Amino acid sequence: MIRVPPVGPLDAQIMIIGEAPGREEEARLQPFVGASGLELTKMLHEVGISRADCYITNVVKVRPPGNDISEFFLDKACKKPQQIILDGVVELKKEIEQIKPKVIVALGNTPMWALTDRRGITDWRGSFLKYGDAHLIPTYHPAAVLRQWDWRPVAVHDLRRARQCVDNPPVPPAYNFTIRPSIEAVLRFLMTVRATADATPAGLP
């Protein structure tokens, strides 16, 4: 098995994680240098991220048979990982400990699952998740973008959020829940809502 090592500066603020190398990556011993890598580089450029500034890695460092990651699982639904995946996840977590990125971009289901145990990239993409101290933003894998071209602007939007997150991380809202309010409290609250609506010029949100 040929191992494709990660690339990028050890003090990178952004870490980009794919699934596993493909044929081109295996031939050149670098992640994301094939067709999906080229598209990734273009999308990063469009949002002002220099690829050279990012640490780029994969959950598994070797190419799965037929470039099909499900070959490294015991089932087609990719719920039962083989040892090679489990070892890859352990190694990936060590890389994160070493690099200490501010922002992690998880490209597709496999890295999102590896770090958050979540599945369903369509449901989760663009979310601000956390892995340790790092912000984790999942988005579509560039290979999926190449197959489904109308996902491209969505992936670009997510990458833009990732760039903004480096300097302006999201501030969680200060939630203030009132459990079982009195009817007077509800009426007072509704009055403030109406007063705000009345004070808002027509046509403005």
**Residues interacting with ligand URA, by CB under 6 A?**
18-22, 25, 31-32, 34, 36-37, 58, 143
Distance separating alpha carbons of residues 54 and 14, to the nearest angstrom: 5
Name the residue among 146, 73, 65, 161 with its Cα closest to residue 110.
Answer: 73
Q: Phi first, then psi: what are they for 140, rounded to 5°?
A: -65, 145
Q: Which is nearer to ligand URA, 37 or 101 (CB)?
A: 37
- State the nearest-atom distance from the C-beta of 107 to ligand URA, in Å: 6
Name the residue among 19, 15, 38, 45 with its Cα closest to residue 160.
Answer: 45
Instruction: Indicate the SS3 state at residue 31.
Output: coil
Q: Which is nearer to ligand URA, 19 or 158 (CB)?
A: 19
Q: Which is nearer to ligand URA, 34 or 81 (CB)?
A: 34
Distance separating alpha carbons of residues 126 and 165, to the nearest angstrom: 12
- State the nearest-atom distance from the C-beta of 143 to ligand URA, in Å: 6
- State the nearest-atom distance from the C-beta of 114 to ligand URA, in Å: 12
Instruction: Indicate the SS3 state at residue 141.
Output: coil
Q: Which is nearer to ligand URA, 65 or 201 (CB)?
A: 65
- State the nearest-atom distance from the C-beta of 190 to ligand URA, in Å: 51
User: In this chain, which residue has its C-beta nearest to ligand URA?
Assistant: 18
